[in-house]
Amino acid sequence: MKSSYNSHIKRIVLGLLIFAVVGFVAKMVLTPKSFGKYGPYRADAIDEEANQEIRHMTNASCLSCHPYEANIHLTGLHKTISCEFCHGPYADHVKAGKVYGKLPVKKKEEIKVLCLRCHNKAIQARPGEVIKTVIMPEHLEEQKVKVSHTCDQCHHVHAPLKYINRAKKIVGIKEKS
């Protein structure tokens, strides 16, 4: 085939055209859907993140099925504490409105460890107006009880001063100011 005077231009244009078409098709195929809707990323990833499973609910959702605990918890000093912190997340207990698993209830030594997470005076940086702190075992000695006592033998875990206030009322002790 005899090459005409402009065949090299034709070849270059054809080459560029093929490059453009292949490039365009590749871009169409390889770019994920919703890419570039808000910026150089996949906009669907936002919805994926938003639709993740919620595992923690609120205290209100726990207490709506546990009215007995609600009565105690909401009247005590521990009302700001989340149920799910001590007992575990809602999602491990209820699924689609049905009870699905049992959540553990802390006992004995575990309770002591749990209480001292917040109430240990040995850790400074716990301001008195935020939290009452004690030193163990001095607190037990001061209150004249056995050193082997666990916290929940005197303090109700949901309302720490429940029994103590009741006892004070019976005995007739006035609050120290």
Partner 1 sequence: MGEPEAKLDKERRAFIKKVLNGTIAGSLLLVIPMPMGAATPEVPEQIPGIRGKKWDMFDQRFAFIVDITRCIGCGSCCVADRREFNVPDGYYRTWVERYLKDFDDEVYVDSPHGGFDGYQSPRTDIEVEVRDTFFVPKLCNMCKEPPCVQVCPVGATFKTPDGFVLVDRERCVGCAYCIQACPYSARYLDPVTRTAEKCTWCYHRVRKGLLPACVTVCPTGARKFGDLNDKNSEVYKLLHEHEVLTVLKKDMGTYPALYYKGLRREVV
The site for partner 1 (CB under 8 A) is made up of 32, 35, 38-42, 45-46, 48-58, 60-61, 64-67, 78, 80-82, 84-85, 88-89, 94, 97, 113, 116-118, 120, 122-127, 130-131
- Residue 27 Cβ vs partner 1, minimum distance, rounded to whole Å: 14
CB contact at 8 A, 116 and 102: no
Host H or E run for residue 18: helix 7-30
Q: Which residue number, 133 or 165, has a Cβ lying nearer to partner 1?
A: 133
Please identify which residue in the block is written with the tokens 């009741």: 166
Q: Which residue number, 136 or 164, has a Cβ lying nearer to partner 1?
A: 136
Give, in degrees to the nearest 5, the angle at Cα 86 between 131 and 96: 135
- Residue 93 Cβ vs partner 1, minimum distance, rounded to whole Å: 11
Q: Which residue number, 42 or 162, has a Cβ lying nearer to partner 1?
A: 42
- Residue 121 Cβ vs partner 1, minimum distance, rounded to whole Å: 10
- Separation of alpha carbons 139 and 141, rounded Å: 5
Q: Which residue number, 40 or 172, has a Cβ lying nearer to partner 1?
A: 40
- Residue 41 Cβ vs partner 1, minimum distance, rounded to whole Å: 4
- Separation of alpha carbons 130 and 143, rounded Å: 23
How far from the centroid of its chain's Cα atoms is residue 157's Cα?
Answer: 21
Q: Which residue number, 10 or 132, has a Cβ lying nearer to partner 1?
A: 132
- Residue 74 Cβ vs partner 1, minimum distance, rounded to whole Å: 14
E-strand spans in the chain? Answer: 94-95, 98-99
